[in-house]
Amino acid sequence: MDSRIEKVMENHQKGYNCSQAVACAYCDLFGVDEKEAFRAVECFGRGMGIMGTCGAVSAMAYLVGLKVSDVDLDRPRSKVSSYNTLKPMTQAFVDKNRSLDCKTLKGLDTGVVLRSCTGCIQDAAEIVETYLLKEKSE
């Protein structure tokens, strides 16, 4: 599979928020239309709209759900698998950027910017490709 990092960055340049830029570049690989993904993750941008978890990280979680969920509404059993898939991804993001929190990443309280939005978006895309798409490229 070809890298879609350039597509992620183009999405952001077009005005997609951080979460939309990441989610919309990969959603088709998991059977979701781009318009549906765009709408579903809209409020995840800017740290879930109120400076919480980084929107690019939230997009990673969204994509994990699309890939891993068993979608068994009567007896859902895939939650632990989803959590276990996401955990090393979020750890990789923290290892690189020291936080998952948008406000902290942007240095709003400290004045010390840990990572730009563009950098966070690129990092999330690289992590998605490393952890979720690795078998697609083998």
What DSSP string describes the chain? ----HHHHHHHHHTT--HHHHHHHHHGGGGT--HHHHHHHTGGGHHIIIII-B-HHHHHHHHHHHHHH----SSS---HHHHHHHHHHHHHHHHHHHS-SBHHHHTTTTTS--S--HHHHHHHHHHHHHHHTSHHHH-
Q: pTM for the whole thing?
A: 0.94
> Quick one: pLDDT at residue 134?
83
Number of domains the chain contains: 1
pLDDT in tens, 54-98: 999 999 999 999 999 999 999 999 999 999 999 999 999 999 999
Residue span of the structural domain in which 55 resides: 5-137
pLDDT digit string (tens) for 12-63?
999 999 999 999 999 999 999 999 999 999 999 999 987 899 999 999 999 9
